Structures are given as structure tokens and as C-alpha cells.
Structure 1
Amino acid sequence: MKVLLYFESEKLLAKSGIGRALDHQKRALTEMGIEFTLDAKDDNYDILHINTYGLNSRRMIRRARQLHKPVIYHAHSTEEDFKNSFIGSNQLAPFVKKYLVSLYRRADHLITPTPYAKQLLLQYGLTVPIAPISNGIDLANYQPVTKREAAFRDYFNLKPDQKVVICVGLFFKRKGLLDFVEVARHMPDYTFIWFGDVPLYSIPRNIRKIVQTDHSANVIFPGYIKGDVLKGAYTGADLFFFPSYEETEGIVVLEALASHQNVLVRDIPVYQGWLTDRQNCYMGRDNAEFTALIRAIVEQSVPDLTKQGYQTAESKSITEIGHELQAVYQHVLTPEKPNPRYTQLFSKRD
């Protein structure tokens, strides 16, 4: 079995969740011993596994059809998570949905990160089989390391007793950036750091203004940072606060859970089935509740849920995702042969 993992505009999307999803796919296939290529000119493959949505992606599907190769489309995006992002995204969203559906229906099989995302796709009227498979997480990459935590605190010149709340995401209203800044305004004794970046010219003026100047002194927007500083932040901060309104999964949440970090998220449908309030994370519904929960979690007046959160991340490890991807690959190649893992994948997620 050989898989062509196709990813259009890889450099442009490298900082996004989709970019990290590709890295996880490569790791998962390597662990499973599945041969893969990233070379779009290599026609010597058995399955096209496509991750992106541009015109070249459409051409790749057409070429696969000419070669009589099955196509798996990884449905990372929906109309819902396109809204409230770039300038004009809400006006374009219905057209984006129509375009996505036109691509997704060309596949032999779809993969999407969560049962919630699968339900959205079914509501679009898609009849292609859909497997909900997490984007996964590399557990070993997010373990606490003292030098990383020191690099984080040194980079931001944080005092030893300074309480720090972090978030990781693009500068989108959908991600809850307005709420993050507003909550921080009411908690001047804590430092709030939002890791992430997006070209400022591409986002609405009010969001651009908030990132540049219109935020309280205890909020830091350091831009896109990776390596020891970010990993040290995941494990060395006091809380990961992710007030996003819409996700298809939220890889950064998995990264925080894998970092043995307490996690506070907005109570939205995408987390149903794998995150539970006050069991493996904390959930809030508005800024008043977020403010109260942040103080309670950081001051340790509520239970520490890092152990339970890490167990959730373990269930979505790269190895587990590799088994599930392999099951879908085998199914599209030999659908007449029953595959217990494939059957289990559908029965346990729906």
C-alpha cells in the first residue's frame, strides 16, 4: 500500500491546524509502516489522500480518477469554521460551503476530525462515507521539560510568581479573541499571552486594532512562536484558555491536554463525546463565567484535572490515529473484505 498525501500551498498553511494535521498523518503512517509520498508528480500510488481545497487539489482528484485510484478527502474545513475569520468571510461562507461540497462529493471516502464535524457534513447532504478520526497528538513532544519552561519565562521576562494564562490560535473573532482580551481586562493581576499570527491586512479592522493597540497592558501578542518557548508555555503556564466559538476539533486543545495542562474551553458542540466539564477540562459559556473559572483554576480552589486531560490525549495518540487511518485505507482498497477496526471506528464514534 502506498498513499499520496497531497497538501496544496504547504508553506502558506504550515502555521495552521491543517498544517499540523499533515505532520501527524506523516508520523502516523510511518508508525504503521505505510509507504507514502508527498510528490504530486508520482503516479505510483494506491490511494490519494488529499487535505486541501485549491484548484490544484481539484486537478489531483481528476488525475486520480484517470488512473483509477481511490480518493480520500480529509474534510478539515466547514462553512461554520470559515465564518468570522478573514475580511468578508461571512459573506463568502455560503459560496465556500458550495465549493467544499463540490470537492467532498468527488471522494470515495471522507475523513473529518470529530463526530460533530461529521454531522455538519451530513447536514450538507453528502452521501459519501465519513469516518470521524481525530487529527491526533504526538504525546512525546509535549511532555514537561524544565529548560523549555525556563525558556518561556525568560522570553517574556516573567517573575517566578507571575500567573500566566495562554491561548494559541489565529487572530480570528471565531477563535474568541475578543473574549480573551475582555477577560484579561478584568484580571490585571494575571498575564495573558495569545500565541499565533495571521497577516493583519487579511482580518477585520476591529480585530486588527485590538491586536495592535486596543488591549490592556497585561495582554501580550508575541506572534507566531514555535519550539521551546511555545512548548514551555504549554507546560509552564498556569492555564490554557481557549474561548473559541467554532472548531472542527481544535488541535491546540489536544496539545494542551498532552502537556499536562489545565484547560478551559467554551462549552460548544464540537467537544461532545471527548471533553466533559469538570471531568477532564473546565467549560464556560460567557466572560463572567470564564473570569470566575480562571481565578478558581489558577488559585487551585477547584480540582486539578491535568491527569484526566492527559488520559484523553492518550486516546488520540499518533499510534491510535495510525490504526484508524489504515482501516479506512484498507476499506477503500478492498471494501469486500470486512475490517473489524473500520467497523469499530464507525460504531464507537456515531
Structure 2
Amino acid sequence: MKILLYFEGQNVIGKSGIGRAEAHQKRALQSVGIDFTTNPKAEDYDILHVNTYGPKSYQLVKKAKKNGKKIIYHAHSTEEDFRNSFVGSNQMAPLFKKWLVSLYQESDFIITPTSYSRKLLKNYGLKQPIAAISNGIDLRKYYPDERKRTLFRDHFKLTASDKVIICVGLFFERKGIIDFVEIAKNMPDYTFIWFGHVPMASIPHKIRKIVKKDHPENVIFPGYINGDIIEGAYSAADLFFFPSYEETEGIVVLEALASQQQILVRDIPVYEGWLKNGYNCYMGHNNQEFQELIRKITEKKLPNVSLAGFRTAQTKSINEIGKELQTVYQSVLDLPYNHEIYRRIM
């Protein structure tokens, strides 16, 4: 079999979670020996696996259908996680949902990262089979490394006694950026670092104001940083704090788990079935709870659950995701479905 992996707008969203998911797909297919191409002009493929939602994606899907190719849509986005993001996103969300549904309906099969996002898609009235397959994580890349840890702390001129809380994400309200800064105001003895970037013109004024100037001195917005420094940050920080209100999975959470870091997240439905409060992570509901948990975790007044978190990351390794994708591809090629394979992936 040969797969055409398609990703539109690499220059615009390549640094996002969707961009990292597509990179993971390439690694996953290589790990199980599946032949693939990323050339949209290719003709010698069996399945089109689409990750994006722009007009070029739509045109390629139409072309593939006309040529009798099988189509898998990777549903990274939903109406729910589009809200509270870009300027005008809440007003556009119903139209965005209609556009997503019109695209997803063109597929033979849908993949989405979690059981939660699968449930959302089912509620949209989609009839295609939908498999929940994690975006996966490169365990080797995020394994704790003392050299990377030192690079991170040196880059930010952190002392051994500095307590450091990190988050990674776009500058979206739904990611919890307002809460992150408010909590930092009440915890001046901690350093809070939010890694990530998005064009300022694309986000609401109140978020631009927070990032540019309306934040306390103990909050740092270094922008988008990749490589050794961010990889070192995950394990060298005292806590990964991700107060997002809505996700389809949250690749950054997987990255933190793979780094054997303690994590604190908001208690939201997307984590059901793979994160458990007090077992492989800690969860809170509001800023007061978050502040109390940050202190208790960093002061070692709660059990360290990072190893259980790492074991969770291991179940979502690139190799495991490759095997699951292979099963889906074979099922789609075997239409009408091989029911034994179908039961395994659903």
C-alpha cells in the first residue's frame, strides 16, 4: 500500500499541534514500513490521508474521489476547539463546523485523536466509521537530558533555587492564557514561562495586551522555541501547567509526560480514559485550586506521579501509533470492511 499524506499551509500552521501531528504520522509510517508520499501531484497512491481544511485540501479530496482513491480525513479540529481562539472565531464557529462536516463527509474513514473528539464528531451526525488514535509522541526526543536541561536554565538565566512553571501553546483564550497570567500575579515567587507564538493581528486585543505588556515581571513570553531548549524545559521545569479549556488531545501534554515531568491540567472531558487525577497527573477546576496544587506539587507535599505519566506516554509512542494507522489503512483498503479488523480499531 502507498499513502498520500497531505498537509496544507505548512508555513502558517506547521508549528501548531496539527503540524507536529503530521510529522509524527511520517515517523509512524516509517516505523512500520508503510510507503508514503507528501507530493499532492502524485498519482501512484492508494489512500489519501488529509490533515487540513483549506481549499487546496478540498480540491485534492475531490480529485482523489474522481480517481477512485480511498480517503481518510484526520479530524484534528472541531467547532468546540475553534472557539475562543482567533479574532472572530466565536462568530465564525457555526460556519466552521458546517465546513468541517462537509469535508469530513467526503471521506471513507475518519481518524481523530481521542474518544472525546470522536464523540463530538458522532454528535455532528457523521456516519463514517471514526477511530480514536492518538497523535503520538517521540519518546526519545523528550527523554530527560542533562545537557538540554542546562541549556534551558542558562538561556533564561535561572538559578538552582528558582521555581519554574511552564506552559506550551498558542496565544488563545481557550488555552487558559488569561488564567495562567492571573495565577502568576498571585505567585510572584515563581517564574512562569509560556512558550508559543501566533501572529498578533490574528488574536483579540485583550490577549495581545496581556502578551505585550499587561503581565507581571515573573511571566515570560519567549515566543516559539524548538529544539534543545524547549525539550530541556519540559524536564527541567518544576511543573508543566496546562490550563486549557478545550482540546482534541493536546500534544504538548504528551510531550510533558514523555519528559517524565509532573503535569497539572484542567479537569476537562478530553482527558477521560487516559489521564487520572492523582495517578499520572493532577487536575484542577479553577484558579484557586490551581494555585494550591502548584505549591503542593512543587513543594513535594503531593506524591510524584511522573513515572506513571511516562508509562502513559509509552502507550502512545510513535511505533504504537504506526501499528494503529496500519490497521486502519488495511481496513479501508479492504472495503467493505473486514469486521475483525474493524472491531480492533473501533
**TM-score under structure 1 length normalisation:** 0.98
Contact 2:249 2:271 in 1 (8 A): yes
CA distance in 2: counterparts of 1:89 and 1:189, whole angstroms:
35
Match of 1:191 in 2: 191
Does the C-alpha gap of structure 1 residues 340 and 141 become closer, same or farther in structure 2, counting only changes over 3 Å? farther
Match of 2:253 in 1: 253
Once the 2 structures are TM-superposed, how far is the Cα of residue 340 of structure 1 from its aligned partner?
4.6
Does the C-alpha gap of structure 1 residues 337 and 287 become closer, same or farther in structure 2, counting only changes over 3 Å? closer
Equivalent residue letter for 1:308: A
CA distance in 2: counterparts of 1:333 and 1:283, whole angstroms:
41
Matches for 1:267-306 after TM superposition, within 5 Å: 267-306=267-306
| Structure 1 runs (4+) greater than 2 angstroms displaced | 335-342
CA distance in 1: counterparts of 2:206 and 2:62, whole angstroms:
41
Equivalent residue letter for 1:128: Q
CA distance in 2: counterparts of 1:291 and 1:274, whole angstroms:
24
SS of 1:131's equivalent?
Answer: strand
Does the C-alpha gap of structure 1 residues 198 and 293 become closer, same or farther in structure 2, counting only changes over 3 Å? same
Contact 1:72 1:109 in 2 (8 A): yes
Contact 1:75 1:112 in 2 (8 A): yes
CA distance in 2: counterparts of 1:323 and 1:339, whole angstroms:
18
Match of 2:158 in 1: 158
Match of 2:2 in 1: 2
Contact 1:235 1:261 in 2 (8 A): yes
CA distance in 2: counterparts of 1:62 and 1:80, whole angstroms:
26
Match of 1:319 in 2: 319
Match of 1:174 in 2: 174
Equivalent residue letter for 2:65: R
Matches for 1:109-258 after TM superposition, within 5 Å: 109-258=109-258
Once the 2 structures are TM-superposed, how far is the Cα of residue 221 of structure 1 from its aligned partner?
0.2
Match of 2:265 in 1: 265
Once the 2 structures are TM-superposed, how far is the Cα of residue 341 of structure 1 from its aligned partner?
5.2
Once the 2 structures are TM-superposed, how far is the Cα of residue 10 of structure 1 from its aligned partner?
1.3
**TM-score under structure 2 length normalisation:** 0.99
Once the 2 structures are TM-superposed, how far is the Cα of residue 335 of structure 1 from its aligned partner?
3.0
CA distance in 2: counterparts of 1:175 and 1:337, whole angstroms:
38
CA distance in 2: counterparts of 1:281 and 1:303, whole angstroms:
10
CA distance in 1: counterparts of 2:126 and 2:182, whole angstroms:
39
Contact 1:324 1:342 in 2 (8 A): no
CA RMSD of aligned residues (A): 0.9
SS of 2:152's equivalent?
Answer: helix
CA distance in 2: counterparts of 1:337 and 1:178, whole angstroms:
47
Q: Deviations over 1:87-117 (max 9, x none)?
A: 1000000000000000000100000000000
Once the 2 structures are TM-superposed, how far is the Cα of residue 336 of structure 1 from its aligned partner?
4.7
Does the C-alpha gap of structure 1 residues 317 and 223 become closer, same or farther in structure 2, counting only changes over 3 Å? same
CA distance in 2: counterparts of 1:3 and 1:101, whole angstroms:
23
CA distance in 1: counterparts of 2:341 and 2:159, whole angstroms:
50
Does the C-alpha gap of structure 1 residues 123 and 278 become closer, same or farther in structure 2, counting only changes over 3 Å? same
Contact 2:328 2:345 in 1 (8 A): no
CA distance in 1: counterparts of 2:152 and 2:272, whole angstroms:
32
CA distance in 2: counterparts of 1:240 and 1:165, whole angstroms:
6
Match of 1:310 in 2: 310
Match of 1:79 in 2: 79
CA distance in 2: counterparts of 1:341 and 1:308, whole angstroms:
30
Does the C-alpha gap of structure 1 residues 342 and 313 become closer, same or farther in structure 2, counting only changes over 3 Å? farther
SS of 1:276's equivalent?
Answer: coil
Contact 2:331 2:341 in 1 (8 A): no
Once the 2 structures are TM-superposed, how far is the Cα of residue 338 of structure 1 from its aligned partner?
3.2
CA distance in 2: counterparts of 1:13 and 1:223, whole angstroms:
15
Aligned-pair identity in percent equals: 61
Contact 2:136 2:318 in 1 (8 A): yes
Once the 2 structures are TM-superposed, how far is the Cα of residue 12 of structure 1 from its aligned partner?
1.3
Equivalent residue letter for 1:115: S
Point out where structure 2 has 5 or more consecutive residues left out of the alignment: none
Once the 2 structures are TM-superposed, how far is the Cα of residue 223 of structure 1 from its aligned partner?
0.2
SS of 2:102's equivalent?
Answer: helix
SS of 1:240's equivalent?
Answer: strand
Q: Deviations over 1:323-349 (max 9, x none)?
A: 110111001101356365542221xxx
